[in-house]
C-alpha cells in the first residue's frame, strides 16, 4: 500500500493472488487421469480513501523494525489494508503455448509459495494451462480513530398519580416507583467515602 501522489488521503493497494490449481490431465491409453498441481497468479490494484494521520502510533506488540519503518515515513501512520476473499471459482481451463511474460511472472513467486509445492517449480515446459478464475473480494482500509461518545447520568422516571378510588389498579398507581431497586446508588449517595478504611 502506497499513498497516491497529488491525491491526499488516497492510497493504492496492490494485491497479488496465488492460486493452487489442481488439473486432471487425460493421457492417451490411460484409464484414469493424472493429477497435476500448478500455480496461477493474478494481480489487482485498487485505490481507496483512507484519510490522513500525522501522529505516530506505538503499541506493545511493535518491534524495533516497525519503529524504524514508521520513522522513515515522517510520522505519517499508514492505515491497514485488509482483503477478504471468497472461495475461488474455476471458470475454464485450456492448454496454450507458454509466452515469455508467463516465465517472468513465475520467477517472482515468493519462497513461501514455492515451499507449498515442495520448494521447486518447473518452468521449463513450453506449454501451460491457461486458467480463468472468478473471485469475489472485499478490500478495505482500516485506520484507528478517536471517537467521542456522549454519556448520560441515570435516568430516573417520575410519575405522579392522584386518585381516590378503591380499585386495586388505582391503588397500585399511587405507589411510588421503586427507583432504588433498578438503579444502584452512586458513591456520593451511599456515604461510602467516609466509612472506607484508609491505607
In sequence order, what are the beta bridge partners of 35?
A: 24
CB-based contacts of 51, cutoff 8 Å, min separation 6: 9, 79, 143
Residue 154 DSSP symbol: -
Looking at residue 183, its pLDDT comes to: 63
CB-based contacts of 9, cutoff 8 Å, min separation 6: 49, 50, 51, 52
Looking at residue 44, its pLDDT comes to: 92
Query: pLDDT band for position 199 (50/70/90)?
Result: very low
Give the span between the Cα atoms of 199 and 193, in whole angstroms: 13
Residue 152 DSSP symbol: -
DSSP for 20-61, written as a single string = EEEEEEPPTT-SSPEEEEEEEEEEEEEEEE-----S----TT
What does the pLDDT look like over 107-139, one tens digit per residue? 678 888 888 777 777 777 777 888 888 989 999
The residue-averaged pLDDT of 35-55 equals 85
What does the pLDDT look like over 16-41, one tens digit per residue? 999 988 888 887 877 788 888 888 88
What does the pLDDT look like over 145-186, one tens digit per residue? 778 888 888 777 677 656 566 677 777 777 777 666 666 666
pTM: 0.59
Conformation bin of residue 191: beta by default, left when phi > 0, alpha when psi is -120 to 50 = left
Give the span between the Cα atoms of 20 and 41, in whole angstroms: 9
SS (H, E, C) 113-142: HHHCCCCCCCCCCCEEEEEEEECCEEEEEE
Query: pLDDT band for position 47 (50/70/90)?
Result: very high
User: The sheet that has 10-25: what strands, in order across it?
Assistant: 2-3, 10-25, 34-49
Query: pLDDT band for position 72 (50/70/90)?
Result: very low
Amino acid at each position: 500500500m502506497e499513498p497516491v501522489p497529488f491525491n491526499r488521503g488516497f492510497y493504492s493497494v496492490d494485491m497479488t493472488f496465488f492460486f493452487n490449481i489442481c488439473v486432471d490431465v487425460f493421457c492417451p491409453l490411460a484409464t484414469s487421469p493424472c493429477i497435476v498441481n500448478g500455480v496461477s497468479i493474478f494481480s489487482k490494484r485498487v485505490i481507496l480513501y483512507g484519510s490522513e494521520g500525522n501522529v505516530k502510533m506505538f503499541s506493545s506488540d511493535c518491534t524495533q523494525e516497525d519503529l524504524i519503518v514508521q520513522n522513515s515515513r515522517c510520522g505519517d501512520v499508514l492505515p491497514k489494508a485488509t482483503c477478504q476473499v471468497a472461495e475461488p471459482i474455476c471458470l475454464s481451463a485450456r492448454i496454450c503455448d507458454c509466452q515469455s511474460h508467463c516465465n517472468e511472472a513465475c520467477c517472482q513467486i515468493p519462497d513461501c509459495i514455492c515451499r507449498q509445492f515442495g520448494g521447486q517449480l518447473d518452468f521449463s515446459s513450453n506449454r501451460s494451462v491457461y486458467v480463468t478464475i472468478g473471485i469475489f473480494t472485499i478490500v478495505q482500509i482500516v485506520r484507528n480513530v478517536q471517537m467521542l461518545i456522549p454519556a448520560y447520568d441515570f435516568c430516573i422516571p417520575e410519575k405522579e398519580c392522584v386518585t381516590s378510588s378503591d380499585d386495586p389498579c388505582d391503588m397500585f398507581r399511587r405507589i411510588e416507583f421503586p427507583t432504588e431497586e433498578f438503579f444502584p446508588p452512586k458513591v456520593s449517595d451511599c456515604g461510602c467515602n467516609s466509612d472506607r478504611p484508609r491505607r
